[in-house]
């Protein structure tokens, strides 16, 4: 029973399975026939976005949609027309009876022209397959006007971008995400000395070998760093590159990531500038800011920096160093007599000699007009410093040949030792300067070490200079006049103008302020103030006493100052004083310099009629031949030549020689500093009749001189008190 049931069930399942297969085959046949029918009766939709034509196998239009009919509106009936009659394709000849159809089938978006109105289109032909073969074609037209406009706009934008990148003054390099170069502009080509074709496709580090200018450390993988950080990064300062020709360029630049709209990285762009010239200029400006332009030595600014660093190092390692302040003696005189060009040559030669006498670890700096500072590092003791300074001064002091002019120059030096004389730069420079000034003042030695006593002297000197400046502003300098007497007639022959400083109730003599005034370059202003006041008084005296002569003292600096001398001559004329009543006293040592360096000054004074007297005659060792070449009116015998009670005979003989020379040259001789009757008597016996000194009259104020002049020298010799 069980076996029969199983067999019946098996027969039933087989029947159902065969029935199902028959139904499926019938459905497949029906679907196939329906599909063939639909394919054979294709209808173009009216809602298609583009004009469409249905073509048969020979290229004849079978059907057209509404957009196609509008496109070919000038054609009476599109259906039935061949495709060749409707459009044309440039540079194409039909090769078969199918015309353009095979040509269009082989192209993507081929360009064509409508024969009806000449519009530019693209005609894409798509075959329709039936039973494995195609017997219909659809031709789809697209208006090219918008695409042409977009293409032209894109090309214009591309051209503008290319022109901009080619015209920009900076170098531009683009890379992909792997650091491979994709673009370089002409500036980059010029720097690298390579064409774009040689660079594109190579890794950035292979082309741009960047490194630090000072340390020479390579600077690599910057495109990768930029992409990793995700923002613009800049190269370190002093970045340089060297191209394959060996040419080095200083550059400054930045890397920026190229980011797409969706946030993905496309690569990097590097924009750099060639700053070779500007960096060289910056170096030059920095050098000029820290070095003296004349000598090339470090200036005060750089010296201060090195001194600060040396102080820190000396404190750390506990060693000593010396600071030497050097000043050229009588440099102003050299500068004024020979000119600034020779002064500059002398400074350069001194700088060269100083530099040649020190170690490489030491420093020579020029901190002022004729001032130098030497920093001697790591010294053992004062004995070593003394040896070094002696060696330096032995080299520097001596003769200098400056363009065929040979002069002798020497320097004075002051020394301060760290840490004994100061633990900072300001204190050391101040103390070395004070020691140098002390060396100048003493004159028995070429250099001095600092000691605390010099601080008081320096402060006192600064106060004196400050007081002098205030006195000039307050018109505190007044002229005093010392009569010069003719011993034969006992009449006043001349008045010498002398400077006095009215300081409150005190009347200071030149010995109290002359040295400070000269160092502070204040003597010119003091002299002008004195002469201006004296000329006002002279206007009355000289108009009353026609033979009275007023003498003025002039320094070499004043005589070589053309503006000052013109002003003085103008003041004489302004006060209506005859030039013959004015006498200028010039020291013999200055006369020698004038004759050798500026003889025209003496000649110009001679032409005006102003008298010229040689002061301190016989001390400057002037060549007597000079006195024959130039006209002088008087010589003044210094007090050192005058007789004393112990040397009356020898001094008389010496004065006789001077007086005889003056008589031979037909010039006057005046004895200065006559203090005793013995001196006056010996001078009279020696033939010197013009006498000046306190034995007769001390320097007098304007108020005291006027009544004496009114008496016109009916004066008896005053008794010595």
pLDDT at 25: 47
Cα 195–Cα 200–Cα 202 angle in degrees, nearest 5: 115
pLDDT at 114: 87
pLDDT at 130: 65
pLDDT at 94: 56
Q: Are 330 and 557 in contact (CB under 8 A)?
A: no
State if pTM tops 0.85. Answer: no
294-297 contacts: CB < 8 A, separation 24 or more?
A: 294/344, 294/347, 294/348, 294/366, 295/347, 295/348, 295/351, 295/366, 296/351, 297/351, 297/355, 297/364, 297/365, 297/366, 297/372
Q: What's the CA gap between 643 and 655, in Å, rounded? A: 9
Q: Alpha helices of 609-647 — where are they, by DSSP H?
A: 624-629
Q: What's the CA gap between 496 and 489, in Å, rounded? A: 19
Mean pLDDT by 10 residues, the chain (721 residues): 38 45 48 45 72 87 87 81 86 63 80 85 82 76 78 80 75 92 89 90 90 88 89 88 88 88 90 86 83 91 92 90 92 82 92 91 91 90 87 91 87 92 90 88 78 72 84 92 88 92 88 80 89 92 89 89 90 92 89 75 87 81 61 85 60 78 85 86 83 90 88 44 35
Which of these, 429, 436, 483, lies nearest to 457 by C-alpha position? 436
Which regions of 316-397 does DSSP assign to beta strands (E)? 320-328, 363-366, 371-379
Residue 94 tokens, joined:
């039909």
pLDDT at 687: 83
Q: Are 123 and 87 in contact (CB under 8 A)?
A: yes
DSSP string, 124-181: EEEEEEETTEEEEEEEEEEE-HHHHHHHHHHHHHHHHHHHHHHH-SSEEEEE-TTSBE
Which of these, 127, 150, 129, lies nearest to 139 by C-alpha position? 127
pLDDT at 325: 95
Q: What's the CA gap between 398 and 407, in Å, rounded? A: 8
Q: What's the CA gap between 650 and 14, in Å, rounded? A: 174
Residue 452 tokens, joined:
């605390």
Please report how many Cα atoms fall inside a 13 Å half-sphere around the Cα of residue 396, on the Cβ side: 29
What is residue 640's DSSP assignment? G
Q: What's the CA gap between 355 and 352, in Å, rounded? A: 5
Cα 494–Cα 500–Cα 501 angle in degrees, nearest 5: 165
φ/ψ bin of 693: left (φ > 0), alpha (ψ from -120 to 50), beta (otherwise) = left
What does the pLDDT look like over 113-125, one tens digit per residue?
A: 888 888 888 888 8
pLDDT at 520: 64
Q: What's the CA gap between 54 and 79, in Å, rounded? A: 9
φ/ψ bin of 408: left (φ > 0), alpha (ψ from -120 to 50), beta (otherwise) = beta
Cα 571–Cα 574–Cα 578 angle in degrees, nearest 5: 85
Which of these, 190, 156, 151, lies nearest to 171 by C-alpha position? 190
Q: Are 128 and 135 in contact (CB under 8 A)?
A: yes
What is residue 118's DSSP assignment? -
The burial class, CB within 10 Å (0-12 / 13-18 / 19+), for 665 is: middle
Kind and range of the H or E element at 535?
Answer: helix 523-544
Q: Are 67 and 145 in contact (CB under 8 A)?
A: no
């Amino acid at each position: 029973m069980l076996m029969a049931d199983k067999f019946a069930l098996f027969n039933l399942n087989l029947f159902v399975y065969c029935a199902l297969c028959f139904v499926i085959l019938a459905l497949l046949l029906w679907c196939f026939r329906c599909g063939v029918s639909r394919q054979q009766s294709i209808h173009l939709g009216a809602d298609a976005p583009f004009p469409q034509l249905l073509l048969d196998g020979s290229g004849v239009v079978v059907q057209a949609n509404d957009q196609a009919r509008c496109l070919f509106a000038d054609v009476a009936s599109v259906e039935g027309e061949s495709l060749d009659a409707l459009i044309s394709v440039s540079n194409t000849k039909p090769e078969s009876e199918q015309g353009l159809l095979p040509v269009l089938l082989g192209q993507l978006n081929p360009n064509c022209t409508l024969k009806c109105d000449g519009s530019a289109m693209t005609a894409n032909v798509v075959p329709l397959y039936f039973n494995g073969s195609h017997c219909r074609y659809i031709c789809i037209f697209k208006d090219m006007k918008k695409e042409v406009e977009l293409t032209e706009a894109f090309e214009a934008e591309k051209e503008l971008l290319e022109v901009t990148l080619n015209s920009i003054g900076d170098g531009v390099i683009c890379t992909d995400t792997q650091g491979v170069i994709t673009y370089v502009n002409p500036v980059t080509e010029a720097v690298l000395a390579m064409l774009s074709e040689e660079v594109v496709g190579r890794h950035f580090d292979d082309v741009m070998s960047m490194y630090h200018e000072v340390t020479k450390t390579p600077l690599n993988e910057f495109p990768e760093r930029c992409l990793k950080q995700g923002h613009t990064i800049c190269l370190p300062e002093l970045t340089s590159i060297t191209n394959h020709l060996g040419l080095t360029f200083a550059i400054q630049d930045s890397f920026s990531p190229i980011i797409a709209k969706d946030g993905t990285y496309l690569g990097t762009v590097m924009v750099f500038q060639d700053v070779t010239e500007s960096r060289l200029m910056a170096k030059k400006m920095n050098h000029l800011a820290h070095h003296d332009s004349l000598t090339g030595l470090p200036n005060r600014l750089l010296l201060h920096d090195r001194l600060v660093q040396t102080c820190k190092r000396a404190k750390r390692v506990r060693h000593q160093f010396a600071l030497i302040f050097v000043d050229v003696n009588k440099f102003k005189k050299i500068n004024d007599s020979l000119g600034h060009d020779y002064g500059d040559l002398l400074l350069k030669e001194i700088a060269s000699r100083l530099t040649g006498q020190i170690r490489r670890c030491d420093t020579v700096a020029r901190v002022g007009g004729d001032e130098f500072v030497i920093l001697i590092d790591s010294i053992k003791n004062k004995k070593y410093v003394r040896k070094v300074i002696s060696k330096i001064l032995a080299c520097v002091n001596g003769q200098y040949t400056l363009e065929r002019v040979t002069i002798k120059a020497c320097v004075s030096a002051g020394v301060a030792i760290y840490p004994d004389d100061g633990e900072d730069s300001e204190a050391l420079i101040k103390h070395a300067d004070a020691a140098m000034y002390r060396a100048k003042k003493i004159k028995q030695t070429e250099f001095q070490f600092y000691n605390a006593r010099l601080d008081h002297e320096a402060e006192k000197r600064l106060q004196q200079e400050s007081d002098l400046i205030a006195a000039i502003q307050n018109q505190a300098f007044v002229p005093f006049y010392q009569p010069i007497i003719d011993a034969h007639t006992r009449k006043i022959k001349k008045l010498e103008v002398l400077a006095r400083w009215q300081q409150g109730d005190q009347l200071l003599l030149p010995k109290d302020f002359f040295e400070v005034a000269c160092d502070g370059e204040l003597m010119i202003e003091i002299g002008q103030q004195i002469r201006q006041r004296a000329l006002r008084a002279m206007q009355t005296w000289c108009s009353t006493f026609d033979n009275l002569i007023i003498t003025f003292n002039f320094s070499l600096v004043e005589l070589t100052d053309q503006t000052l001398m013109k002003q003085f001559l103008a003041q004489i004329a302004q006060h209506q004083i005859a030039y013959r009543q004015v006498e200028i006293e010039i020291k013999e040592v200055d006369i020698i310099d004038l004759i050798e360096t500026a003889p025209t000054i003496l000649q110009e004074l001679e032409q005006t009629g102003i008298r010229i007297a040689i002061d301190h005659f016989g001390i400057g060792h002037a060549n007597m031949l000079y006195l024959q070449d130039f006209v002088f009116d008087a010589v003044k015998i210094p007090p050192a030549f005058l007789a004393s009670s112990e040397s009356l005979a020898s001094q008389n003989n010496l004065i006789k020689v001077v007086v005889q020379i003056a008589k031979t040259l037909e010039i006057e001789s005046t004895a200065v500093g006559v203090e005793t009757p013995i001196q006056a008597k010996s001078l009279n016996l020696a033939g010197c009749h013009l006498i000046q000194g306190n034995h007769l009259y001390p320097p007098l104020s304007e108020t005291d001189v006027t009544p004496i002049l009114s008496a016109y020298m009916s004066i008896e010799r005053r008794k010595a008190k």
